[in-house]
A and B are shown apart, each in its own frame.
Chain A
Amino acid sequence: MVWILGPRQIGETTLPREIARTWQRRPDLFPKLRVLTDRDRRPARFLLLGSASPSLLNQSSESLAGRIAYVAVRAPAGRRRRDPHPGGIGPLAGPSASQAIDATLSAVKVSFFETGRYCPPTPLPSEWPVPSGAYDPDAGARAFRDMIERLRYVEALGFDWISVSEHHYSPRILTPSPMVSAAFIAAHVPHIAIALLGPIVPHSNPIRVAEELAMLDTMSEGRLVVGLLRGTTNESLTYDLNPDEARERTDEGMELVLKAWTEPQPFGWQGRHFQYRTVSIWPRPLQAPHPPTFALGTSKESCEFAARHHLGCGVSYGSFEAVARATRYYREQCARYGWEPSPEQIVYRANMIVAETDAEAEARLRALPNQAPFSMRPGVRDAMATLDSRNIAGQARAPVISGALPTTFLGSPDTVVEQVRRCREVVGAGVLDLSLHPPGSGDLDALKRALELFGTKVLPHIRDI
């Protein structure tokens, strides 16, 4: 007996010729199947198809142990395909069938936040922007070679997504163009979903953003997840974005990206900050109507935008309680617009330090510098602090300019599993986007050890949370 599992409408039911009734409609199916299977011991007499929720599987008193094999078919980005066909079915996921099932049915998905990990051969200047002259091209080339090796390992460990972000002028995060990063990763890491979290909308040409994301979704065969955002405070200084306009340009730009993806007729855009007489992008995204998309940010405006456009919501780095204010507000807004987001539509980016013991993890946190690795000049920092208004669900929040970002998951694997459980309850996030080691650290061995520990001792235990 073989059960092919997959999220809805990814094509798993178009594959076979014989179709059994799905588990959802007949929860009493398993006991009957056991009897039928035991009568005739020939292999693979029954082919079960369709998606199932973890709660249903857990409800079953009949596990069919020894009688059933599971094969998971992933639509890696977790959304419907525009045009299901056998060739478009996602690859069989993960290193083993059981892990594959976990990946499909998990309530908490896990994303690995990849930053490029540049290891400078000599100490660097400490001010942002860091002079380009201090960059070592060979070290840069090595960083991207190592990145691919690392991400293949991440995929093999059973992570659900790899995420990349847009940051400029810093050795800390070597991915100024997340589009290029994502394309490179998609070409070298074959199965995992790639989350582009995300292009900084206010300083980009939104049409170009829509076009490049559509290309990526198509080239990666629907593995793309998208987060659109305003960007961190310092990013206003790259590409000369006026901080006063950042919010407005983000909202308008995001709406224009969505419109460019979904409007079938050439259109003009008479905006406040963007103006086009004719737009008609090719290609459009592979996933329909577009890749799973998040508005990233804790602000009232961002949450409202996400709710209004039926997008996911992404929060980052704050304490569970702080970001929960935003996710609660987001869910309230969704209700106002008459819909309810799934846990998978809330993603939380956070720092995690996991070690063999709590004490070791705490020691490692203490060893980290307590300030941003590349700080701005005081004159710029202070001016930015007054100009850059941010909020959590409407409550003013100071921009993070010179402080270190907090680490909200810290401890032994058991402790971290408990923290993930708490986070799931408090924040409601179905996806954790994790830095398992300080993003700027060049200690790749430590990162690899953290990955291994997380993959073997944490990941298997947070699937059923």
Chain B
Amino acid sequence: MAFREGHVDADGFRIRFFEAGDGPALVHLHGAGGPRITPSHELLSRSFRVIAFEMPGFGQSPENTRSESMSELATTIARAVEALGLGAFNLWGTSFGATTALWLALQAPERVLALVLEAPAAIRQEGARPVSGSALEMARLLYAHPERLAADALPDPATQARSQPLVRRLRGPDRDPEFESRLRALTAPTLVLLGTLDRVISPDVGRIYKELLPDGHLVFVYDAAHAISTDRPEAFSEVAADFLRRHDAFVISRSPTLIHP
């Protein structure tokens, strides 16, 4: 399904977004590398109306010097979603964008139906560093199988560099006790996914989310690195869609094993 490009004005920003599919709304917030339509976006758009924002200061947008905190950025996005006429919606956040998603869910709990956090960067192991370097170096950090990537899918160091000050300003400390204590009150059903080969966020931090979130679930995606939705798109989309549809009950398998009738 082809994603069409659109723009929405919110909070003084002109915000670009990509949209495809029908069904319940699924808003996606990208990682620090900026927006990219992955095979997972395509797969999820088969059952959801996927709206992937380009957050102000990322991708082709001008540098964002206004947003002072993740909380502010989350408010901006919430307004953008509202401007699109969406009441309640599902929210998928990737890495840096997963932190934005958590802030948004804390600000507007009644609007977020469920959360999918792909390799979230809100809680980090000690000494974690933002992804930087040459395109190839970044690809090696982000992907378990960079050799499978098309050349145009490699991270663009120039784009990264432009949003770097914003990322540094907003990413917060590795551990933020006040933020973490607020997560204990987050009621939205939340799925935390971590790749077993993630070299940016240690998969071990997953257990902290599991402990904090009242309705949190933790899933490790085998043989995926930080960019789970690109490394294992079928695996990622299947569990994400199942969780968004069934929330807690996604632990009950509905997969048929019939070989021959």
Q: Residues of A at under 8 Å CB distance from B?
A: 133, 236-237, 240-245, 249, 270-275, 377-380, 382-384, 387
Question: Closest approach, in angstroms, between the C-beta of B77 and any C-beta of chain A?
Answer: 27
- How many contacting A-B pairs (Cβ < 8 A)? 54
Interface membership of chain B positions 242-261, coded 1 if the CB is closer than 8 angstroms to chain A and 0 otherwise: 00001111011111111111
A-chain residues with CB within 8 Å of residue B255 when the two chains form the complex: 240, 242
User: Across the interface, do A272 and B253 meet the contact criterion of CB distance under 8 Å?
Assistant: no
Identify which of residues 87-134 in chain B touch chain A, using a CB-to-CB cut-off of 8 Å.
none
User: Across the interface, do B260 and A380 meet the contact criterion of CB distance under 8 Å?
Assistant: no
Majority SS of interface residues in chain B? loop
User: Across the interface, do B257 and A383 meet the contact criterion of CB distance under 8 Å?
Assistant: no
**In the assembly, what is the distance between CA of A244 and CA of B252, in Å?**
10
**In the assembly, what is the distance between CA of A380 and CA of B254, in Å?**
13
A-chain residues with CB within 8 Å of residue B251 when the two chains form the complex: 237, 380
**In the assembly, what is the distance between CA of A244 and CA of B248, in Å?**
18
If A133-B207, A273-B257, A382-B249 are given as contacts, then 11 extra A-B residue pairs at C-beta distance below 8 Å, sorted by A number, are A236-B252, A236-B253, A242-B253, A243-B253, A245-B258, A249-B257, A271-B260, A377-B215, A378-B248, A379-B189, A380-B249
Question: Closest approach, in angstroms, between the C-beta of A134 and any C-beta of chain B?
Answer: 11
Which residue of A is nearest B210, CB measured? A131
**In the assembly, what is the distance between CA of A243 and CA of B252, in Å?**
8
Contact of B256 among A133, A245, A382, A383 (CB under 8 A): A245
A-chain residues with CB within 8 Å of residue B258 when the two chains form the complex: 245, 272-273
Complex A-B, nearest 6 residue pairs according to Cβ-Cβ distance, in ascending order: A379-B248, A383-B249, A240-B253, A242-B253, A380-B248, A377-B248
Question: Closest approach, in angstroms, between the C-beta of B69 and any C-beta of chain A?
Answer: 33
Contact of A242 among B215, B256, B261 (CB under 8 A): B256
User: Across the interface, do B259 and A275 meet the contact criterion of CB distance under 8 Å?
Assistant: yes
Which residue of B is nearest A248, CB measured? B258
Residue among A133, A242, A382 with most chain B CB within 10 A: A242
A-chain residues with CB within 8 Å of residue B246 when the two chains form the complex: 383
B-chain residues with CB within 8 Å of residue A133 when the two chains form the complex: 207
Question: Closest approach, in angstroms, between the C-beta of A243 and any C-beta of chain B?
Answer: 6
Contact of B249 among A240, A244, A249, A379 (CB under 8 A): A379
Contact of A383 among B189, B207, B252, B259 (CB under 8 A): B252
Can you sample 28 A-B contacts with CB below 8 Å?
A133-B207, A236-B252, A236-B253, A237-B252, A240-B253, A240-B255, A242-B252, A242-B253, A242-B256, A243-B253, A244-B256, A270-B260, A272-B258, A272-B260, A273-B257, A273-B258, A275-B260, A377-B248, A379-B247, A379-B248, A379-B249, A380-B248, A380-B251, A380-B252, A382-B249, A383-B249, A383-B252, A384-B252
Which residue of B is nearest A241, CB measured? B253
A-chain residues with CB within 8 Å of residue B215 when the two chains form the complex: 377
**In the assembly, what is the distance between CA of A383 and CA of B249, in Å?**
6
Which residue of B is nearest A379, CB measured? B248
A-chain residues with CB within 8 Å of residue B189 when the two chains form the complex: 379
User: Across the interface, do B256 and A272 meet the contact criterion of CB distance under 8 Å?
Assistant: no
A-chain residues with CB within 8 Å of residue B261 when the two chains form the complex: 272
Interface membership of chain B positions 24-40, coded 1 if the CB is closer than 8 angstroms to chain A and 0 otherwise: 00000000000000000
A-chain residues with CB within 8 Å of residue B247 when the two chains form the complex: 379
Residue among A133, A249, A273, A383 with most chain B CB within 10 A: A383
**In the assembly, what is the distance between CA of A133 and CA of B247, in Å?**
24
A-chain residues with CB within 8 Å of residue B248 when the two chains form the complex: 377-380, 383
**In the assembly, what is the distance between CA of A273 and CA of B257, in Å?**
6
Question: Closest approach, in angstroms, between the C-beta of B211 and any C-beta of chain A?
Answer: 8
Which residue of A is nearest B254, CB measured? A242
**In the assembly, what is the distance between CA of A384 and CA of B255, in Å?**
15
User: Across the interface, do A273 and B253 meet the contact criterion of CB distance under 8 Å?
Assistant: no
User: Across the interface, do A272 and B259 meet the contact criterion of CB distance under 8 Å?
Assistant: yes
**In the assembly, what is the distance between CA of A133 and CA of B249, in Å?**
23
Question: Closest approach, in angstroms, between the C-beta of B191 and any C-beta of chain A?
Answer: 13
Which residue of A is nearest B246, CB measured? A383
Contact of B257 among A236, A237, A242, A380 (CB under 8 A): A242
B-chain residues with CB within 8 Å of residue A243 when the two chains form the complex: 252-253
A-chain residues with CB within 8 Å of residue B253 when the two chains form the complex: 236, 240-243
Which residue of B is nearest A236, CB measured? B252
Question: Closest approach, in angstroms, between the C-beta of B216 and any C-beta of chain A?
Answer: 11
Identify which of residues 176-204 in chain B touch chain A, using a CB-to-CB cut-off of 8 Å.
189
Contact of B259 among A236, A240, A273, A379 (CB under 8 A): A273
A-chain residues with CB within 8 Å of residue B256 when the two chains form the complex: 242, 244-245
